[in-house]
Amino acid sequence: MTSPIVFGRIASWWLTPMPATRLGGVRIACGTYALCYLLPRCNMFHELWRTDADLFDPVGMARLLPGVLPPGIMDTVYWLTVLTGVFFTLGFKHRIAGPLFGLLLFTLLSYRNSWSMILHMHNALVIHAMILGISRSADGWSVDAALYRRRGGVPPGSSWRYGWPIMLVGAVTIIAYFLSGVAKLACPEGLDWAAGEALRSQIAVNAIRYDILEGESAPLFQTIYQHKALFWGMGIGTFVLELGVPLALLNRRLGVIWAIMVFGMHWGIFFVMGIKFRYQMSGLTYASFFDLEKMACPKTPLAAALRKFALNGKASLANY
């Protein structure tokens, strides 16, 4: 008897109604990051799959391939990903462009990682894009929604249909950190990892690599290397943020606090280690933890007038 009640409560929590615009905001955040990552790296992608085929070690979607593809095919995949990425971000023809973008991004980044190593910063990006691509994330803040309104359609309000994808995108983000925490706990150091010595030596090795291969190491590392207590603090802090992360999904306010802290952690990693977790450092990966529709529409008279203008398409700003 208890099980159905518990399951019902979990289901209604997971299917909490949320505004279409919030999900639309999460879609825009994901798409914007993907385009900002892909476009400036056009030449890098182009060169990468023209390097020695012996370096190809397939991961993800690339494991389904018979081997290295002709570079021209991958160039096409790259440009199709960019094109569908633009449609995805704008929320235009989402029923087709959304799933297609998720699939193409998965293919492209799998292939990219197959030439080097798994860049963990993009695991969440790919899964976010696939979830947002197949969900109704273009019902708000999109070209599709604007065209629908123009044809006389009523803008959708809050619904569980917009709630569960936001919850799931948040869960994807959270699980990555949780698994990362478990991996540290399961490594030979175990709980001692929190003492900071393992982290310190990891960062030191990384700093040497950057120094030798890029001619520069992280700005702060040279300064803090001698201060072991700082690494102890970083070790404890990392464990708390990674293993305590499930709480961020259970309580929305805790989720916001966690997102801000972990965003700061990634910038800290950059300053100390020089490692750029770009999706995380952009902050866009944490969009699902925030009430984006409220952030985008603060309650100022000008914002209210603009919102009215945007919704009605005819109201003037004269009253402002």
Determine how β-strand 18-19 pairs with β-strand 158-159: antiparallel
Q: Count of CB atoms within 10 A of residue 85's CB?
A: 26
Is residue 108 near another protein by the rule CB under 8 A?
Answer: no
Of 39, 205, 247, 311, the one binding another protein by CB under 8 A: 205
Q: Decide if 183 contacts 176 (C-beta within 8 A).
A: no
- Does residue 262 belong to the site contacting another protein (CB under 8 A)? no
3-class secondary-structure state, position 18: strand
Pick the binder of another protein from 76, 202, 251, 316 (CB under 8 A).
Answer: 202
Report the chain's terminal Cα–Cα distance, integer Å.
57
Q: Are 112 and 157 in contact (CB under 8 A)?
A: no
Q: Which is nearer to another protein, 21 or 114 (CB)?
A: 114
Q: Which of residues 41-60 bind another protein (CB under 8 A)?
A: 43-44, 47-48, 51-52, 54-55, 59-60
Looking at residues 110 to 129 of the shown chain, list those that interact with another protein (rule: CB under 8 A): 110, 113, 115-120, 122-124, 126-127
Q: For another protein, which stretch binds (CB under 8 A), given 80-88, 137-145, 167-175, 299-307?
A: 167-175
Least distance (Å) from another protein to the CB of residue 298?
31
Q: Which of 22, 27, 94, 184 binds another protein (CB under 8 A)?
A: 184
Does residue 148 touch another protein according to CB under 8 A?
Answer: no
Of 213, 229, 250, 318, which one interacts with another protein (CB under 8 A)? 213
Closest listed residue to residue 65, CA positions, set 127, 124, 110, 104? 110
- Number of residues located near another protein, criterion CB under 8 A: 64
259 belongs to the binding site for another protein (CB under 8 A): no
* Residue 266 near another protein by CB under 8 A: no
Q: Is 260 exposed, middle or buried (0-12, 13-18, 19+ CB in 10 A)?
A: middle
Burial of 129 (0-12, 13-18, 19+ CB in 10 A): buried
Angstrom distance (rounded) from CA 21 to CA 290: 12
Question: φ and ψ at 85, to 5 degrees?
Answer: -65, -40
Here's the x/- map for another protein, 14-33, by CB under 8 A: it reads as: xx------------------
Q: Is 76 in the site for another protein (CB under 8 A)?
A: no
CA 211 to chain centre: 29
Q: CA–CA separation, 155 vs 276, rounded Å?
A: 39
Q: Residue 24 and residue 145: Cα distance in Å, rounded?
A: 10
164 binds another protein (CB under 8 A): yes
Residues 6+ apart with CB under 8 A from 157: 19, 20
Site string for another protein, 236-255 (x = CB under 8 A): --------------------
Q: 25 vs 102, which CB is nearer to another protein?
A: 102
Side-chain-facing half-sphere of 275: CA atoms under 13 Å: 18
Q: How far is the CB of 220 from another protein (least distance, A)?
A: 13
- Name the site residues for another protein (rule: CB under 8 A): 11, 14-15, 43-44, 47-48, 51-52, 54-55, 59-60, 106, 109-110, 113, 115-120, 122-124, 126-127, 131, 160-161, 164, 167-168, 171-172, 175-176, 179-180, 182-184, 186-189, 193, 198-199, 201-202, 204-205, 208-215, 222, 225
